[in-house]
Amino acid sequence: MLITLEVRRLFCDGVGCGRRTFAEQVDGLTVRYQRRSPLLQHLVEVAGVLLAGRGGARLLNILKVPLSRTSVLFQLMRMRLPSITTPRVLGVDDFALYADVYGTLLVDAGTRLPIELWAGRDAEQLAAWLRAHPGVEVVCRDGSLVYRQGITDGAPDAVQVSDRFHLWQGLSKRVSDIAAAHRGCLPETVPEPEPAAPSPELEPFAAADTPAHRHARRLFEAVHAFSGSGRSLSAIARELGLNRRTVAKYARAASWQDCVRRIPPRRSTRLDPYLEYLRQRWDEGEHTATVLHQEIVAKGYLGHYQRVKMAIAPLRRGLPIDTPRERPPSPRQVARWITTTPSRLGLHATEGLGRLFEHCSELQRTYDLVRQFADMLAGCDASGLSDWLDDLTDSNLPALAGLAKALREDQAAVLQGITTPFNSGVNEGRITDLKLQKRIMAGRAGVPLLRQRVILMAHLRRRYP
Ligand SMILES: [Zn+2]
């Protein structure tokens, strides 16, 4: 659509006025010296914020606003950021900018909007920002020494809060470490086969000469050849051309067998009596696992839906129906079970944990300590904190004892984190947001563009929820 707009050209008779003629402006439609109406300019800017250069230009071209990638970026970078009002409660968090390079994100914990972002995460930058923006009363941060130092230097009177999100994340990390150290206990979560079960291949490592086993043995020997050399895991990983996490796994293991995924022998399960029925129903055309599960539940099946789904999975690929082999959960999965609120845990996980704890008292102890901390957080009640820290120290679990040591050194802020409602407003969601944007930009345009987009996008999201 084309709008033909006629405006008046006006003369100025003022003696002291340097301007001879000027054109009339129409509010909301024209701006002096601009080639775009305010509405169109807004569209260009929004496209830039949401999609950056290339994507923004593509969208605008579809909308018949031909603009180059660089022009969109230029318009984006020209946008003024909302002016900063110094927040009363500030959230500070770091995020990975590139592989080993970190950045710092500041969030107004009141509005939950990001207000500043820069490359690096050292104390001095944060202290300088706080000095330039006096008036921050509370700062929520992670447990790191660096930000603690920066706040102490830049805003010595501010109350420091160790963020509950980070406290929980720190504890969860230790739980993962413990679960990984108890990898060998995890098959206990899988129910015992029924007594009648014939077990033809009970020896899981009998010959131990599969390609996977040879591979594990070779890596184990290669990694452990470096022990005592004082080289870092990263250096060893580079040397061997392996992923650092793989090297870490082998370095931690006491033997190569620990690094092999154990596949439990075929066990008879409660589903066995229903396999024939499932096969028959499948042939009749019923392919929905939930429906099939309900049907056999009505016939007395007590097992989990997941098993039915796994059992019919081969049928979907035209293979014969198979009894599901239940794999033991991964350490990460067990850690998630342990850190999930019990009422939100499914029956499958609850039963698995119960079996696991009967066998492994250390994971049981870990679970109890996690629940105690969860109760403190939920009730904003830190009266049990000292005792809880003592229990961690006495738990005989090095991961938890180490955590207790770190938390004690920061105990005032930890106490604040448990008892105050403040949190940094930095959460997993926001960091995911950042990661996504980094990927869109592929690291080329750098931090100024990232800063522009992260801040403006958050405001945009408020405006167009
Ligand atoms: Zn164990």
**pLDDT for 337:** 94
Return the half-sphere exposure (C-beta side, CA atoms, 13 A cut-off) of residue 247.
20
CA 178 – ligand 1 centroid, Å:
8
Of the ranges 228-237, 243-252, 259-268, 289-298, which is most confident? Answer: 289-298
* Averaged pLDDT, 144-160: 92
> What distance in angstroms lies between residue 374's CA and the mean position of ligand 1's atoms?
22
3-state secondary structure the chain: CCCCCCCCEEECCCCCCCCCEEECCCCCCCCCCCCCCHHHHHHHHHHHHHHHHHHHHHHHHHCCCCCCHHHHHHHHHHCCCCCCCCCCEEEEEEEECCCCCEEEEEEECCCCEEEEEEECCCHHHHHHHHHHCCCCCEEEECCCHHHHHHHHHHCCCCEEEECHHHHHHHHHHHHHHHHHHCHHHHHHHCCCCCCCCCCCCCCCCCCCCCHHHHHHHHHHHHHHCCCCCCCCHHHHHHHHCCCHHHHHHHHHCCCHHHHCCCCCCCCCCCCHHHHHHHHHHHHHCCCCHHHHHHHHHHCCCCCCHHHHHHHHHHHHCCCCCCCCCCCCCCHHHHHHHHHCCHHHCCHHHHHHHHHHHHHCHHHHHHHHHHHHHHHHHHHCCCCCHHHHHHHHHCCCCHHHHHHHHHHHHCHHHHHHHHHCCCCCCCCHHHHHHHHHHHHHHCCCCCHHHHHHHHHHHHHHHHHCC
Q: What six digits make up the tokens of 316?
A: 């979907």
Ligand 1 midpoint to CA 179 (Å): 8
Nearest-angstrom CA–CA distance, 52 and 441: 8
**Residue (of 432, 425, 431) closest to 164 by Cα position:** 425
Q: Cα of 234 to ligand 1 centre, how many Å?
A: 29
CA of residue 396 to ligand 1 center, whole Å? 13
Least confident piece of the model among 23-32, 193-202, 295-304:
193-202
**Distance from Cα 197 to the centre of ligand 1, integer Å:** 26
Contacts of 38 (CB under 8 A, 6+ apart): 28, 29, 31
Q: Decide: 106 and 440 in contact? Cβ < 8 Å.
A: no
How far, in Å, CA of 464 to CA of 457, rounded? 10
Q: Please report, as a single letter, which amino acid is at residue 288.
A: T
Distance from the alpha carbon of residue 261 to the mean position of ligand 1, in angstroms: 17
For residue 70, how many C-alpha atoms fall within 13 Å in the half-sphere facing its CB? 0
Confidence of residue 365 (pLDDT cuts 50, 70, 90): very high
What is the band of 201 on the pLDDT scale with cuts at 50, 70, 90?
very low
| Spatial separation of the C-alpha atoms in residues 291 and 110, rounded to whole Å | 48
132 pLDDT above the threshold of 50: yes
Cα of 384 vs centre of ligand 1, distance in Å, is 27
Beta strand 138-141 with 159-162 is parallel
**What's the gap in Å between 322 CA and the centre of ligand 1?**
31
Ligand 1 midpoint to CA 266 (Å): 23
- Parallel, antiparallel, or unpaired: how do β-strands 21-23 and 113-119 relate? unpaired
Phi, psi of 115 (to 5 degrees): -120, -20
User: Tokens 């009141």 — which residue?
Assistant: 110
pLDDT of amino acid 411: 92
Question: What's the pLDDT at 376?
Answer: 93
- Separation of CA 364 and ligand 1 centre (Å): 9
- The total number of residues shown for the chain amounts to 465
C-alpha of residue 182 to centroid of ligand 1, in Å? 4
Burial class of residue 464, CB neighbours in 10 A (0-12, 13-18, 19+): exposed
- In the reported structure, the alpha carbon of residue 330 is separated from the centroid of ligand 1 by a whole-number distance in angstroms of 13
Distance 265 CA to ligand 1 centre (A): 21
- Residue 203 pLDDT more than 50? no
What's the CA-to-centroid distance between 185 and ligand 1, angstroms? 5
pLDDT digits (tens, 9 = 90+) for 204-226: 454 456 667 777 888 888 888 88
| Ligand 1 centroid from CA 256, angstroms | 18
CB 423 within 8 A of CB 140: yes
Three-point CA angle 88, 94, 100, nearest 5°: 165
Ligand 1 centre to CA of 359 (Å) is 7
Task: Tell how far the Cα of 332 is from the centroid of ligand 1, in angstroms.
Answer: 14
Q: How far is the CA of 326 from the centre of ligand 1 (A)?
A: 19
User: Please, what is the end-to-end C-alpha distance for the chain in angstroms?
Assistant: 29
What is the distance in A from the centroid of ligand 1 to the CA of 335?
A: 13
pLDDT at 322: 64
Distance (Å, whole) CA 40 – CA 55: 17
| Distance in Å, CA 392 to ligand 1 centroid | 17
32 C-alpha to center of ligand 1: Å? 74
| Structural contact between residues 169 and 431, judged by C-beta atoms closer than 8 angstroms | no
Q: From ligand 1's centre to the CA of 465, what distance in Å?
A: 47
pLDDT tens, position by position, 279-318: 889 888 899 999 999 999 999 998 888 888 888 887 887 7
Percent of the chain with pLDDT over 70: 88
Return the structure tokens found at 366: 């870990």
Residue 223 Cα, ligand 1 centroid: separation in angstroms?
25
- Ligand 1 mean position to 361 CA, how many Å? 7
User: What does the pLDDT look like over 95-104, one tens digit per residue?
Assistant: 877 767 788 8
CA of 186 to the centre of ligand 1 (A): 8
What is the CA(136)–ligand 1 centre distance, in A?
A: 46
pLDDT of residue 276: 86
207 residue type, one letter = A
> What is the radius of gyration, based on Cα positions, of the chain?
30
Q: Which residues surround ligand 1, an ion (CB under 5 A)?
A: 182, 185, 360
Q: How far apart are CA 386 and CA 453, in angstroms?
A: 43
